Amino acid sequence: MRNNSLGNSRAQLTIFIIIAIVIVGSIATFFALRGYFLIPSIPETFQPAYTNFLSCIEQDTLTGIALLENQAGYIYLPEFELGSNHMPFSSQLDFLGNPIPYWYYVSGNNIEKEQVPAKADIEKQLEIFVSEKIKECNFGNYYEQGYEIYLGNSSADVQISDNKVSVLVYSDLSMVKEEDSVSVSRHSVNVNSELGKLYNAAKEVYDNEQKNLFLENYTIDMLGLYAPVDGVELSCSPVVWDGRKVFEDLQNAIYENTQSITTKNDLNSESDYFVGDIRVDADVRFYTSKDWPYSFEVVPTQGQLLLATPIGNQPGLGILGFCYVPYHFVYNVKYPVLVQVFSGNEIFQFPVALVIQGNKPRHALDATAVEISLPEICDKNNTEIKVNLYDTKLNPVNSADISYECFGTKCEIGKANSGVLTAGFPQCANGDIIARANGFKETRHLYSTINSGSVDVVMDRIYEMGVNLNLDGANYDGQATISFFSQDGSFSSMVSYPEQKTINLSEGQYEVQVYIYQNSSITLGKTTTKQCIEVPQSAIGGLFGFTKEKCFDIEFPEQIISNALSGGGKQNYYILESELSNHKTISINANKLPTPNSIEQLNNNYLLFEKKGLVIGFG
């Protein structure tokens, strides 16, 4: 019994010793760190003034958060970079007068760039912003009440979490009134904000776009639906599209459909097609505007028209027994999209540039930006050249974009103002200076830039002329295609008559072609053509190159040629600038051809067309 009592006493003593050690350690830790954990008690006299100071920190933080959310995670914008004719994007998107840095864009000299701020960078910018703005905190009312308030230099520490932003400001704040005083050096504020959550969601959307290019793939679909890309039409007359109308339709489609794209967490989508394969912890919308920078290019073209010519009605092809019009157009489309990620009243937004090259989306980027290296020649603009631009009357051309092409590589040089550009050019023998200006034909001037010098470039002005078409001397308002092909291939223009009755022309030698079509009722019966190809004899025989001929039938359905060549001709003609500047209309008289009622007569008309001339005049 005695031994048990002794054991219990020793156990209790051990517990007391441990508790004493913990208490002593806690007291030591408290005194060592009390300056970190404790904010000095604010006397009641100074509580309103100090609350005002904390309100200043909170308001400055909210202002900084709003800037970060509106400007793609930036308070202080990165250096601005201009775009070019080739790439219309600058480094920032102007949205309602507010510059927003692109998270992805292609620079004017064709380098892919990313400007995605890391979360640590966002926190750093907010720290700097709060540290600078807190100096402007207004204590005017308290000065009038007899307070003396001194605020030292400030620094801040910011932590952004999903639903709040914590700010700790280090600044010596001293307040004195009569016999009372207080001094505080650390000031803590928590602001309710979903900045962190929205940034994470925005980054997730961006990473998905960079990996899968889902926005570009939507654009490819719209290109196929709203613009002629690939196809075949059964017709014996050319098929013509107005390039301006094609671009207008495509732009409208992009504008409307982009706003329909959403993410999986949005249950309000009307169609699964517009739901992207991504789910984020916020609502997402995508927006573009017709007023933002766009670039639209398509080849081949004749002036502003997309032309597809028929096969089967040329001399010697009448044996086919049918006509068809194949077409293949290649598009380059570039435009911006603004991505907005929002929750409640908070919106985080960032823009990206969309690039379609040759009917295909750009290559997806890895986690870091990939730069497309420029040709070496464009990196060494070390020869100073002065370019003087004139029209044919030796008046300066006010504004023009100048580039230089050497052995197939084109380098953007700069913009001429008041008809003059002095800039560095890459060294090259027998390269081309290329000048582009509104109202003028693109001009190429052969010039070697081995040594510094000066060069005069004369540009031909473009005139808009009315078109009047006559058939056998009488006014004609039926269907026709009128083309002007310059002899050197540098300029062509075409109109689809009578829908278009104006044409843009400059001085030069042209081959003028007029195709007149009238209603016909030529019926081509159903035909079958045999097609043979070489195929491997068998799986084993194919290894040794043994083949056999396999034939199959291609059936062409019956077709009716509703428009057939019934007039026109071609004429070489040199158009003088005086004819363009002194007149408003170009008149063309063409000859009528027999109205065809069979495929043989239609072929004969094409033979006659080659021999028919045109009479051209101005009025």
Q: How far is CA 616 from CA 11, 260, 482, 495, 588, in A?
A: 122, 52, 12, 16, 5
Q: How far is CA 194 from CA 98, 102, 198, 570, in A?
A: 22, 22, 6, 70
Do 335 and 295 form a contact (C-beta atoms < 8 A)? yes
User: In CATH, what number does 377-459 get?
Assistant: 2.60.40.1120
Among residues 506, 513, 455, 461, the alpha carbon closest in space to that of 484 is found at 513
Among residues 252, 255, 250, the alpha carbon closest in space to that of 228 is found at 250
Write down the pLDDT at residue 242.
Answer: 86
Summarised one tens digit per residue, pLDDT across range 389-412 is 999 999 999 899 999 988 667 788
Structure tokens at 398: 């006010």
Q: How confident is the model at residue 368 (pLDDT cuts 50, 70, 90)?
A: very low
Write down the pLDDT at residue 164.
Answer: 95
What is the rounded average pLDDT for all residues in the chain?
82
Q: How many CB atoms lie within 10 A of CB 174?
A: 14
Query: Which has the minimum average pLDDT: 15-24, 339-348, 382-391?
Result: 15-24
Residues in contact with 323: Cβ distance below 8 Å, sequence separation at least 6, in sequence order: 234, 235, 236, 310, 311, 312, 313, 524, 561
Residue 589: pLDDT over 90: yes
Residue 470: pLDDT over 90: yes
Structure tokens at 486: 């310059």
Residues in contact with 100: Cβ distance below 8 Å, sequence separation at least 6, in sequence order: 70, 71, 72, 92, 93, 94, 338, 349, 350, 351
Q: Is 459 helix (H, G, I), strand (E, B) or coil?
A: strand
Q: Name the amino acid, one letter, at 486.
A: S
Write down the pLDDT at residue 558.
Answer: 58
Residues in contact with 303: Cβ distance below 8 Å, sequence separation at least 6, in sequence order: 484, 492, 493, 494, 503, 504
CA 442 to chain centre: 24
Do 391 and 458 form a contact (C-beta atoms < 8 A)? yes
Mean pLDDT to the nearest integer, 145-166:
92
Distance CA 403, CA 418 (A): 17
Residue by residue, DSSP assigns 310-352 as: -BS-STT-GGG---BEEEE-EEEEEEEEEEEEEETTEEEEEEE
Q: How confident is the model at residue 322 (pLDDT cuts 50, 70, 90)?
A: low
- In the sheet that 164-177 helps form, which strands lie side by side, from edge to edge? 148-160, 164-177, 180-192
Summarised one tens digit per residue, pLDDT across range 100-142 is 999 999 887 778 889 999 999 999 999 999 999 999 998 988 8
Q: How confident is the model at residue 306 (pLDDT cuts 50, 70, 90)?
A: confident
Among residues 581, 584, 567, the alpha carbon closest in space to that of 619 is found at 584
Write down the pLDDT at residue 552.
Answer: 58
Mean pLDDT to the nearest integer, 209-213:
90
Q: How confident is the model at residue 264 (pLDDT cuts 50, 70, 90)?
A: low
Summarised one tens digit per residue, pLDDT across range 32-60 is 433 333 344 788 888 888 999 999 999 99
Domain parsing of the chain, residue ranges: 11-38, 44-78+115-193, 213-361, 377-459, 463-618
% of the chain exceeding 90 in pLDDT: 45
Summarised one tens digit per residue, pLDDT across range 525-578 is 565 656 565 555 554 444 445 566 766 565 555 556 667 788 999 999 999 999
Q: How confident is the model at residue 62 (pLDDT cuts 50, 70, 90)?
A: very high
pTM, full prediction = 0.58
